[in-house]
Structure 1
Amino acid sequence: MRRMLRDFVGKRRCCPFKAQNNAHYASYKRFRRRIIRRSSSDRDGPAASTPVATGRQHEPSFEFDTVCQRLELDSPPRHHETAQKVLNGHSQVLVGGASRCEAITPPNTPHTFTASGNAPEQGWVWRAAAQEPGNGQQAGSDERRHALQPFAVLEEASVSLQGKSVVKLAVPSLLDDYYTNLLDCSCNGMVALALGSSVYLWNSETGALVGYLHSSPQPARAHHQTQSISCLSWSRDGRTLCVGTRRGEIQLWDVEHQNMRCLPPHMSVVGALSWKQQLLSSGSVLGLIHHLDPRAQTALVGTAVQKEAICSLQWSPGDNWLASGSTEGLLCVWDSDIAGLTRSRQPITVMKQPSAVKAMGWCPWQRKIIATGGGWKDGELRIWDSDLGTCVTSANTHSQICSLRWTERKRYLVTGHGLPHHQVNCWSWDLPSLSPICQLTGHSNRVLHLALNPDGTQIFSAGADQQFLIWDTGVP
């Protein structure tokens, strides 16, 4: 009886074709090895069943998986712990206060921050400017340009056509992408500019490069590619810098406590960021808005859904409304009630323009007034009444509007333009008139990003020509 049972079990373990012909018998492991061997020699790519990591099939410039474009929602809420801080030696980095951020003595070794949570393979390293080698000198102009460190002076004290002084600095590797937001200036005058997977800090008061934060894979996971930064934003007190990436990750660098923290991510590119006191709002290209409170145990405290991809996001100066701009030309205004994870929340006002609402900003001194700039098929600068949802006034710039900023102290509006003029325009607005003040020329390609120093006396512009310009406006 035992012999019969062993024979029966042995037959069940064998392939059914074995009894007919031993040549047809093959285990699953042998079959799998043959498939993988054939796929590796096939130049057309791996077989559909081959377990190849998707991350290695994309070029470094990919934005997001095409499958994610068809999803209705981003990732569900997940809890993330505060990032652990790893210090090499006794190095120091930037420290911040309520009124000023300044550089401390450059360390001998860089700070390394290992972020836990959604991106365990990424490490953030702080390097002070004094650690970097001097600017290389190359014979060829192109080689010399790429060898220059960010914020190295290319041309100083030149004059634009309108008689405004301008200083040109080098910012190699600036991504030429209309839908990114890579430049911001804090209330303390610290300029942050993202170049690839690094964020460079430049002190607008001293005119010196302070250093940079770099995102790089950990040695144990060196096969992972570094992540490209898609947007960044300083908190209103200048103590925290938020960075969003093309992988959907959101990182907070606490300058005062010198640590890095991961917040709940999106499943797609983070298109825009905006602060409301200690609350952070982020928008993705899938149209989902996350409201995050870094102080809470569960950081994700609210969501809202917009049908189109979000390319701009900004809370109003009084924190009463949140404006979100889409790639399809919709400008949505949401109320301040952000609590709750629901898809049913609707904007209180929706306005429409013929092109993407990427250049957008609230007027600091006029309640419920917001400005938008049209793309290359539009070129219209519009002033909206967000309460009525109507356009108050507009001006045709005959040029693509890539960026837009208001300055409160000097009370004027700045726009950065692309084709065909590549210039920076300053506007005065006194309801209802919108009048040009001056045109600033100096870029040779579209002006993708704008920022202003705290007192509004300087304009910072970063263009696709990989140049960073400082304009001494002299606007009264």
Structure 2
Amino acid sequence: MAITSRTGGSGEGSSRGAAVRVQLQAHLWPLGGQREPRFDLEAVCQRLELDSPPRDHEPAQRHLQGNLHETELAGGVSHCGGVTSPNTQHTFTARRWTATENAPKQGLVWRAAIHEYGNVQQAGSDERTHALQPFAVLDSTSVSQCGKSVLKLAAPSLLNDYYTNLLDCSCDGIIALALGSSVYLWNSETRALVGHLAPSPQPGRAYLQTISCLSWSRDGRTLCIGTRRGEMQLWDVEQKKSMRRLWSHQSVVMALSWKQQLLSSGSVLGHIHHVDPRAPSPLVGAVVQKEAICSLQWAPGEDCLASGSTEGLLCIWDGDIAGVTRSHQPITTMTQPSAVKAMGWCPWQRKMIATGGGLKDGELRIWDTDLGTCVTSANTKSQICSLRWAEKKRYLVTGHGLPHHQVTCWSSEFPSLSPLYQLRAHSDRVLHLAINSDSTPIFSAGADQRFHIWDM
């Protein structure tokens, strides 16, 4: 059986078959070539079947069965529940979520910061000496880029995968960056490493849970981490303790977004789950999109949710997340020629959303979600890997792949788009962007395993 990967290369996958190949790869080769000791092909096939939408045509009002939640399997045995009705959905989910207490004990643990990682090295020092230290300063000399300065830091083991979401900045300026199976926390104001979350040692397990996405809650108190094995871990970073582990998906958790205290997640096989981590039975709503989810974001007013797929669909869902139904449909659907991975709502034009096209497209688009139409666009002639809005500065920032691997700042005087700055220092595609709340520095992480701070 031939199995291929979407990781590396152009990074842009194809359809449902690619999603299944990724899921098989996650079980076969979790460490990029090492086979899991207790690999059970039958269990994997059952898991994929549970995670897949049913082939039969269900009545429009029929609610999801146990396969929607991508229930956990132990030794190939399913623990899914039965059919639910609107009045019994929490009973339906109770057994699933209670089983979380008996989930495998392997998880992330808090590790103290190694303070020398944050120390500025002398200019001109040998970069190789510090190449393995996350957030070690590799170049403390300001490099002029259209009048803007850049600081280069190390980001070893950053996964070169177009579909991951591994960088986020909290409202308090704490950077979270996933490097392999660990998450490093770095204070952007003091420029010091705060600590990191690393896998706890577990005898007899040859694999690590590679992190696929992460997201800060809007109040900056909670960090959620999603893995390639379908787990979500919630951390109170201030208290340095794990709040909860949720096995919501049994496929790769591709994207996360918060709505106040509620958390939405999207999986590689198209499931969107809405959970309340405070509740005994956290699952409060779910819908299914046809293609793999690769981006997810609640609007600034939290009245609607946008989801982007690997097949180029941008779906807008209403804010009513209650209920576990397969019949729920998006209120608006828009299409672009490539994956909707780079995506972001405009903070000051509440119904406007920006998307970036992939390798075969390269178009930056602004959409009116009320009308479902593209109001303006710009051809960047390069892959757009990431996208962020700078609210206070009122510009749009995009991170690019070939040919220049640049960060571009755009003026956003609707309905026009024009580039203000093109910032070049990365030597490979700019996979992730983050912006501090005051919109002054821009943070970028690239496939060159470098983390840059652009002083704007």
Q: Give the structure-2-normalised TM-score.
A: 0.79
Residue aligned with 1:199, SS: strand
Does the aligned pair in 2 maintain the 1:193–1:200 contact within 8 Å? yes
Query: Could you say if the C-alpha distance between residues 67 and 165 of structure 1 is closer, same or farther in structure 2, counting changes exceeding 3 Å?
Result: farther
Secondary structure in 1 matching 2:114: helix
Q: Which runs of 5+ in 2 are unaligned?
A: 1-24, 36-40, 54-67, 72-92
Q: 1:386 to 1:134 in 2, by over 3 A?
A: closer
Structure with more contact order per residue of length (Cα contacts < 8 Å, sep ≥ 6): 2
Partner of 1:254: 236
Which of 405, 411, 417 is the equivalent residue of 2:400? 417
User: Does the 8 A contact of 1:290 with 1:303 survive in 2?
Assistant: yes
* Corresponding residue number in structure 2 for 1:403: 386
Counterpart residue type for residue 203 of structure 1: N
Does the aligned pair in 2 maintain the 1:160–1:441 contact within 8 Å?
Answer: no
1:371 to 329, 342, 354: 354
For 1:415 and 1:55, the matched residues in 2 are separated by: 29
Structure 1 residues 396 and 120: CA distance shift in structure 2, 3 A:
same
Give 1:60's aligned amino acid.
Answer: L
CA root-mean-square deviation = 2.6
Residues 74 and 286 in structure 1, CA contact (< 8 A), matched pair in contact too: no
Instruction: Quote the residue 2:288 is aligned against.
Output: 305
* Superposition map of 1:164-175 within 5 A: 164-175=148-159
Residues 327, 118 of structure 1: alpha-carbon distance in 2 compared, 3 angstrom cutoff: farther
Which structure has the larger Rg over C-alpha atoms? 1
Q: Give the letter for the 2:136 counterpart.
A: A
Give the corresponding residue for 1:144: 129
1:117 aligned counterpart, secondary structure: helix
2:210 alignment counterpart? 228
Q: Is 1:158 matched up with 2:142?
A: yes
1:117 Cα deviation from its structure 2 partner: 3.1
CA distance in 1, matches of 2:135, 2:306: 32
**CA 1:251–1:366 in 2, change beyond 3 Å: closer, same or farther?**
same
- Given the alignment of the two structures, is residue 265 of structure 1 paired with residue 248 of structure 2, yes or no? yes
Question: 1:57 Cα shift?
Answer: 4.8
* Aligned residue number for residue 349 of structure 1: 332
User: How far 1:297 sits from its partner (Å)?
Assistant: 1.6
| Alignment-mate amino acid for residue 377 of structure 1 | K
Q: Which residue matches 2:432?
A: 449
Shift of 1:469: 0.1
Structure 1 residues 281 and 239, CA gap change in structure 2 (3 angstroms): same
Alpha carbons of 1:284 and 1:322: their partners in 2 closer, same or farther (altered >3 Å)? same
Work out the CA distance in 1 between the residues paired with 2:423 and 2:26.
Answer: 43
* Structure 1 position 467 matched with structure 2 position 450: yes
Give the distance between the partners of 1:175 and 1:187, measured in 2 at CA.
25
Distance 1:371 1:262 in 2: 32
Distance 1:66 1:196, change over 3 A: farther
| Native 8 Å contact 1:121 1:224 kept in 2 | no
- Cα distance, 1:69–1:355 mapped onto 2, change above 3 Å: farther
TM-superposed deviation, 1:322:
0.2
Q: Match for residue 29 of structure 2?
A: 58
Letter in 1 for 2:228: R
Cα deviation per residue 1:191-237 (whole Å; 9 max; x = unaligned)?
Answer: 00000110000000001111100123434xx3242100000000001
Residue 113 (structure 1) aligns with: none
Which runs of 5 or more structure 1 residues have no equivalent in the other structure?
A: 1-53, 83-115
Residue 180 of structure 2: which of 156, 177, 196 is its match?
A: 196
Q: Could you say what secondary structure the match of 1:430 adopts?
A: coil
What displacement does 1:256 show?
Answer: 4.3
1:141 Cα deviation from its structure 2 partner:
6.8
> What is aligned with 2:78?
none
2:118/2:191 contact within 8 Å kept: no
Q: 1:182, 1:144 → 2: CA distance?
A: 25
Question: Partner of 2:353: helix, strand, or coil?
Answer: strand
